[in-house]
Amino acid sequence: MNKEQFLTELKNGLSGLPQNDIDERMLFYGEMIDDRMEEGMNEEEAVSGIGSVDEIVSQTISEVPLTKIVKKRMTPERSLQTWEIVLIVLGLPLLAAFVAVVLSMYAVIWSLIITLWAVELTFIACALSGIAAAAAYWLHGNLIPGFAMLGAAFLCGGISFFVFFGCLAASKGILHLTGKAALGIKTMFIRKENTK
Amino acid sequence: MDIQLKRGFLEICVLAAIKNEDSYGYRIIKNLKPYIELSESTLYTILKRLEAAKMLTVQTVEHDGRLRKYYHITEAGLQRIEEFKAEWKELISVYQFVIKEDDHE
């Protein structure tokens, strides 16, 4: 791949970004290639030393804030026709509803996580109150029920120990998925731009 | 190395690479190569961040019939290096403590 091909591919890959962001990056990578060639590499070597365009594009997209990409997508390159404005206005409630559905699905997932943590808290509370109850029984001389309570308290404590790790894993998993989804949304915006 | 930790290191390394003399992208990468791995795309992000934090300024200079960007460290950038050095003195004493306790085992 020569310098021109590299920069063209890069430009296409980044086309969802604002123009000045793309220009600046093209200048930066162009300069890098020129500097490598000045040192004696041929054009091919200089370009391959920079790394693959795909990697640069995905790293760039993951670092640019989503708002910047959306803003660029939402800014039309020409003025809108009347019928297009009418269509947008009519379509807006639909879009809002769609966004609301997605957001509420996300909220449901988090409420499930909160519920899990609540179960965990309940087990811990059971364990603690079981110990307290056992102590109360013993103070009144009721040895057997006291042991029964203590046994129940240990059981709850043991379960809460396992549930804790389950909760932790679920929370981490959802956070990880959220990050992936954010990247996915960004990529969606960029892809649309490319196929236009 | 932990990604966040490496990011912090790289910022300081880039500042150090332009501390004594203004430098340009490719030379920064070459100077750091023996010490820490730094890709072009990562360097771009770091330079942008340091510029936004006013730790360096950028100057475009004509070189051999083309343009090249030179990066110049600011007072804030120099100060950041000093802070890093002070932080590390503390960290090194913690490290020595950890090693000492580990050897006693």
pLDDT digits (tens, 9 = 90+) for B7-59: 888 999 999 999 999 999 999 999 999 988 888 888 999 999 999 999 999 99
Is pLDDT larger for residue B80 or for residue A68? Answer: B80
Q: Which of B25, B40, B45 sits opposite A63 (nearest CB)?
A: B45
Give the gap in angstroms from C-alpha B41 to the nearest C-alpha of chain A: 6
pTM for the full predicted model: 0.60
Is the pLDDT score of B4 beyond 60? Answer: yes
Chain A hits for B42, Cβ within 8 Å:
59
Is B60:B69 a contact under the CB 8 Å cutoff?
A: yes
Phi, psi (deg, nearest 5) at residue B58: -115, 140
Model pLDDT, residue B29: 93
Asked if B24 lies within 8 A of A31 by C-beta distance, the reply is yes
**Using one digit for the tens of pLDDT, what is the confidence trace for A152-191?**
999 999 999 999 999 999 999 988 888 888 888 877 776 6
Which ipTM was obtained for this model? 0.85
Q: Is the pLDDT of residue A80 over 80?
A: no
**Beta carbons of B41 and A35 less than 8 Å apart:** no
| DSSP secondary structure of A92-160 | HHHHHHHHHHHHHHHHHHHHHHHHHHHHHHHHHHHHHHHHHHHHHHHHTT-HHHHHHHHHHHHHHHHHH
Q: Map out the domains of chain B with their CATH numbers.
A: 3-104 (1.10.10.10)
d(CA A46, CA A42): 6
Hey, where are the domains in chain A? 3-74, 96-195
Q: How many residues does chain A have?
A: 196
Q: Which of A64-73, B58-67, B73-82 has the highest mean pLDDT?
A: B73-82
Average the pLDDT over A2-21 and give the result.
89
B27:A35 CB<8 A: yes
pLDDT band at A196 (very low <50, low <70, confident <90, very high): very low
Q: What is the mean pLDDT of residues A131-156?
A: 92
